[in-house]
Amino acid sequence: MLIVTGGAGMIGSAVVHELNQRGQDDILVVDHLGTGNKWKNLRALRFRDYLEKDVFLRQIVADGAFGGERIDAILHLGACSATTERDASYLIENNFAYSKQLALYAAANGIRFIYASSAATYGDGSHGFLDDETALCSLRPLNMYGYSKHLFDLWARANGLLEKMVGLKYFNVFGPNEHHKGDMRSLVLKAYEQILATGTLRLFRSHRSDYADGEQQRDFIYVKDAAAMTLHFLDKPHINGIFNIGGGEATSWNRLAAAIFNALNRPPRIEYIDMPEEIRDTYQYHTCADINRLRQSGYDRKITQLESSVEDYVTNYLLPGKHLGER
């Protein structure tokens, strides 16, 4: 059996979908569905069972053997991923303490453990975006979410666990099954909604002289590619450590906007607005994943081009209102 925490989230449900495509459905999905519509991400997926995250953790603590069930791997993708979350205690409990308990359980029981870190751990990028475990101590995340992820990376390395598990630093992932994410939805989804409603897309104006408006850059990665990269490490149990999950290319917001308008068959109409003062000091103007280690680990699949990813997302999911696995 495979366990996927955060299995109803965007990346988690994409991983479950990819497993289903492989013919695997002996999966325990763990998440917190709450009162939103995240449950819709699960409707077309196949899995054996579902548990709420707190129930699952209690079961792990109470029964170290998990009822004698053979667990082949835990893909720990669940977390609070809101970069604007200000409750540091909540993030430490949810993203750090919870992850420690699962990691220790996996290590004690010889279970493959793959967990989600984040590109937010790199901070402003002044120390680069190289997935070098020896340089972890030099990183300075810009927000509490990034720090909660960074803290777990540091803890795993300090306790020798990175030699036995895999941490994945996801960059800007977008694609189907992200409607539930609220303000943390990708620009593709937000832009799609804005353009349909007003015909115009609003982007943040640059507040740095070295970047023109809309030329701020991100490393965007389609969720289908992110899922394939994640499962690459399930297929390679001898490979461990921290790896970047990204496209390996820095793309401007303007280029992304053009791709969205093109997918909707509309002429580009962009309005640049001031960035809120409360995020100006922590805003990343450039991110780009160094994916050399990923490639060296044997991942040789072609990464979907940005324009093709946006077109697939818009035409096959957003316009028809579908989730992964729905036809």
Helix axes 253-263, 187-198, angle to 10 degrees: 50
Q: For residues 192 and 314, give the distance between their C-alpha atoms in angstroms, rounded to a whole number.
A: 8
Q: Is 145 a catalytic residue?
A: yes
Identify the active-site residue in 181, 190, 236, 322. Answer: 181
Q: For residues 32 and 291, give the distance between their C-alpha atoms in angstroms, rounded to a whole number.
A: 31
Q: Is 181 a catalytic residue?
A: yes
Q: Quick one: the chain helix, strand, coil %, rounded to 5?
A: 45, 15, 40
Q: For residues 125 and 138, give the distance between their C-alpha atoms in angstroms, rounded to a whole number.
A: 11
Q: For residues 259 and 248, give the distance between their C-alpha atoms in angstroms, rounded to a whole number.
A: 18
Contact 207/280 with Cβ under 8 angstroms?
yes
Q: Answer left, alpha or beta for residue 67, where phi above 0 means left and psi between -120 and 50 means alpha.
A: left
Q: For residues 302 and 80, give the distance between their C-alpha atoms in angstroms, rounded to a whole number.
A: 30
- The tokens describing 128, both together, are 């680069």
Identify the active-site residue in 145, 147, 192, 313. Answer: 145
Distances (CA, A) of 319 to 179, 183, 207: 13, 20, 34
Q: For residues 221 and 225, give the distance between their C-alpha atoms in angstroms, rounded to a whole number.
A: 7
**Which one, of 115, 253, 83, 55, lies nearest residue 181 by Cα?**
83
Q: For residues 304 and 317, give the distance between their C-alpha atoms in angstroms, rounded to a whole number.
A: 16
- Catalytically annotated residues: 145, 181
